């Protein structure tokens, strides 16, 4: 089944996701326990920044990124070329539910990683099972995803909260789970892996930090991607949805304003 990808893949959206990547990758890498010579598969590799960051993290790490959307995959290769890293990662076309691997590759990876993939899939367990099939015995599957309900801002902004709830509903309308992040250890277990670690990477911040404006744009533009689906399905009117987006921009000027936005991660070991 092909599901509409909620973030789309137009250039503006790609640039936003690239900025988000730069901000998040340090936190992601700090919990991946990468070592020289590892063989890594990155499922749903998108624009490839985290796949390239993994490859750069230690000598001799070989990374294959698997991406279903050709525009995203082409974008990943262009960004890699522009950064002088054209050969660093192999970006392979394919579906995370049916990984495009040879018989030799299947069951051979030290680490299979997927970030912000499962929230876009109606059957995330099928993807985790496919990842479990790709990793070697004793290897790890590392998942990172949002639980949008853990998102919190202070002081409160009720108009934004209403739009954020509608954004979450847009995931459900597509058959996806906006709270998948909290369920990662359970998914690992159900896929036959042994959950071993879990935690949070901070994607929040407070007014006064250098990237505050960028963080606000990221959050507003992320919520905007759910606007069409949420308003067409009558979750909120367009005016109500937009009132939340506008309120967030005004709220961002509040002295002492802060956003608490943890990204959930969990890791399972293949017996």
Ligand X SMILES: C[S@@+](CC[C@H](N)C(=O)[O-])C[C@H]1O[C@@H](n2cnc3c(N)ncnc32)[C@H](O)[C@@H]1O
Q: Which residues bind ligand X (CB under 6 A)?
A: 5, 7, 21, 44-46, 50, 66-69, 72, 95-97, 115-117, 120-121
Tell me whether residue 23 or residue 162 sits nearer to ligand X (CB atom). 23
Which residue's C-beta sits nearest to ligand X?
Answer: 46
In the complex, minimum distance from the CB of residue 256 to ligand X, in angstroms, rounded to a whole number:
30
In the complex, minimum distance from the CB of residue 37 to ligand X, in angstroms, rounded to a whole number:
23
Tell me whether residue 45 or residue 170 sits nearer to ligand X (CB atom). 45
Rounded CA gap, 111 and 38, in Å?
8
In the complex, minimum distance from the CB of residue 2 to ligand X, in angstroms, rounded to a whole number:
8
Taking phi over 0 as left and psi of -120 to 50 as alpha, with beta for the rest, 60 belongs to left
Rounded CA gap, 150 and 49, in Å?
25
Tokens 């990943």 — which residue? Answer: 76
Instruction: Answer whether 74's CB lies under 8 Å from 48's CB.
Output: no
In the complex, minimum distance from the CB of residue 71 to ligand X, in angstroms, rounded to a whole number:
8
Tell me whether residue 4 or residue 194 sits nearer to ligand X (CB atom). 4
Other Cβ atoms less than 10 A from the Cβ of 87: the count is 9
Tell me whether residue 21 or residue 163 sits nearer to ligand X (CB atom). 21
In the complex, minimum distance from the CB of residue 216 to ligand X, in angstroms, rounded to a whole number:
19
Instruction: Answer whether 114's CB lies under 8 Å from 96's CB.
Output: yes
92 by Cβ neighbours in 10 Å (0-12 / 13-18 / 19+) ranks as: middle
Tell me whether residue 47 or residue 259 sits nearer to ligand X (CB atom). 47
């Amino acid at each position: 089944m092909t599901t509409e990808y909620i973030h789309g893949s137009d250039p503006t959206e790609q640039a936003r996701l690239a900025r988000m990547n730069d901000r998040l990758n340090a936190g992601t890498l700090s919990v991946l326990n990468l070592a020289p010579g590892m063989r890594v598969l990155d499922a749903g590799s998108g624009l490839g920044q985290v796949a390239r960051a993994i490859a750069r993290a230690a000598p001799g790490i070989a990374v294959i990124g698997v991406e279903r959307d050709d525009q995203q995959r082409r974008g990943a290769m262009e960004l890699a070329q522009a950064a002088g890293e054209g050969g660093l990662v192999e970006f392979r076309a394919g579906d995370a539910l049916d990984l495009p691997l040879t018989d030799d590759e299947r069951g051979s990876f030290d680490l299979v990683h997927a970030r912000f993939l499962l929230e876009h899939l109606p059957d995330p367990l099928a993807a985790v099972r496919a990842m479990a099939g790709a990793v070697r015995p004793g290897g790890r599957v590392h998942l990172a995803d949002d639980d949008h309900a853990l998102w919190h801002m202070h002081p409160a902004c009720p108009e934004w909260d209403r739009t954020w709830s509608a954004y979450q509903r847009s995931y459900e309308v597509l058959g996806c789970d906006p709270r998948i992040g909290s369920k990662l250890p359970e998914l690992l277990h159900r896929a036959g892996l042994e959950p071993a670690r879990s935690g949070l990477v901070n994607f929040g911040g407070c007014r006064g930090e250098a990237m505050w404006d960028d963080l606000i744009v990221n959050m507003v533009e992320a919520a905007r991607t759910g606007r069409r689906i949420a308003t067409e399905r009558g979750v909120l009117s367009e005016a109500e949805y937009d009132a939340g987006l506008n309120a967030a921009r005004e709220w961002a000027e509040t002295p002492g304003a802060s956003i608490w936005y943890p990204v959930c991660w969990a890791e399972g070991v293949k017996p």
